[in-house]
Amino acid sequence: MNVRYSYLGDQFKNCPELWVKLKKFVSTGDFTLGKPLVEFEKKFAKLIGTKFALGVNSGTDALKLSLKAIGVGHGDEVITAANTFVATVGAIKELGAEPIFVDCDDTFCMNVSLIKKKISKKTKAIVPVHFTGYMTNMPELMKLSKKYRLPIIEDACQSILGNINNKNAGTWGKTGAFSLHPLKNINVWSDGGVITTNDKKIYEKLKLLRNHGLLNRDEVVISGYNSRLDTFQAVIGNWLLPKAKEITRQRIVNAKLYDEAFSKIPQITIPPRPNNYKIVYHLYIVFAKDRDNLLKYCLKKGIEAKVHYPIPMYLQKSLKYKNFKKKDFPVSYLHSKSIITFPCDQHLNKRQLNYVIKTVKKFYEKK
């Protein structure tokens, strides 16, 4: 049997009604900051539960523009997670600021209790990364944010509709940054991103920043970027957003099935599943003994398992100048040796899921 990782082929195989919408849209020529985009932004804000949402070119840009909007610039420090995807750090570096790393805990998100000692006079913001569909401990982080008056920009790229105590990712901080990349839970046919916020001033500033600082066609009030979500992609987003809750529900159902079965395998450890968290499983990850061989075995058996990521961010060549040692972020390091990701998306059927479980069982029985 074959359990593929990318389901993009299945997702859009049968959607004649979307094609009708797209054809109708293209004939309007309304390609840049057009009407369907405005509609999408309204729907997105409503889905997440913020006053405003703004379509931008990518999740990376959602972070970059957010940081820029709250005034992060050259020489500032921004605290973030040591195990994130490169884009978080790239956005910080692009503004001339310096990333200051905090280790994660077994939820793959930054360990909030480690932040305090990293705060300096130069700290301008904290970027918690709701990695893999988990949530950073936001209630605790908000306390810290208030105490030190440090704004929070949430990297919610992998956690759309994730929540703690029913409060969604992207609604806690000054802004929330989302990605609509083809491999994300809610996806379009290209790079794409969204920023959510409740702050009208920040919203107005972001609107300028994403479109060259143009107040209207002829007046430029600040120096901005070109970072717009294509209106064409917004048409796809509008079609997909009503399905968002169902997609999330199905992923959670799949994850529960895995959890139940894997909890009976002694060589597998399941990360904590706190009751007040809604985890949306952009990635379904467990800790596995003899991970490298398990990965090889799965691949051989037609299961496209992956590792997110085998080299943690802080050990990448691009951060060589920081002279980090492996043991500087011990939990992130340990994870990189034991984590494995199994396909968990909404298009998998029960037979495929059971095949994954059976294969993992078999691998350990063999030994």
Partner 1 sequence: MKKNNSIPFVALDKQWQQEKSQLIKIIEKSISRGMWVGGRDVKEFENNIKKTINTKYVVALNSGTDALTLGLKLLNVKRDSEVITVPNSFIASTGAIVHVGAKPIFVDVLPDQSMDYRQIEKKISPLTKAIMPVHLTGSINNMDKIVKISKKYKIPIIEDSAQAIGSKFNNKYAGTFGEIGCFSAHPLKNLNAIGDSGFLVTNNKYIYQKAKLFSNHGMTDRNHTKFFGYNSRMDTLQASILNFRLKNLKKLILQRRHNAELYMKLLDRKNVFFDNERFNQYNTYHLFVIQVKKRDQLKKYLEKNGVNTKIHYPVPIHLQEASIFLNYKKGDFPETEKQSKTILSLPIHQFLKKSDIFKICNLINSFFKKGIN
Site residues (vs partner 1, CB under 8 A): 6, 8-9, 12, 19, 22-23, 26-29, 31-32, 57-61, 74, 86-87, 89-90, 93-94, 96, 181-182, 189-191, 212-214, 218-226, 228, 230-233, 309-311, 313, 316-318
> CA 82 to CA 325: how far, in whole Å?
12
For the chain, the C-alpha Rg in angstroms (whole number) is 21
Using DSSP, state whether 310 is helix, strand or coil.
coil
For partner 1, give the closer residue by CB, 187 or 197: 187
Taking the complex as a whole, the smallest distance from the CB of residue 73 to partner 1 amounts, in Å, to 9
Taking the complex as a whole, the smallest distance from the CB of residue 33 to partner 1 amounts, in Å, to 10
Q: Which amino acid is at 130?
A: H
For partner 1, give the closer residue by CB, 43 or 212: 212
Contacts by 8-12 with C-beta closer than 8 Å and gap 24+?
Answer: 8/182, 8/183, 8/187, 10/347, 11/187, 11/347, 12/189
For partner 1, give the closer residue by CB, 9 or 266: 9
Q: Are 299 and 342 in contact (CB under 8 A)?
A: no
> CA 12 to CA 240: how far, in whole Å?
10
For partner 1, give the closer residue by CB, 141 or 191: 191
Q: Are 143 and 153 in contact (CB under 8 A)?
A: no
For partner 1, give the closer residue by CB, 192 or 357: 192
Taking the complex as a whole, the smallest distance from the CB of residue 132 to partner 1 amounts, in Å, to 16
Taking the complex as a whole, the smallest distance from the CB of residue 261 to partner 1 amounts, in Å, to 28
Q: Are 120 and 76 in contact (CB under 8 A)?
A: no
Taking the complex as a whole, the smallest distance from the CB of residue 163 to partner 1 amounts, in Å, to 26
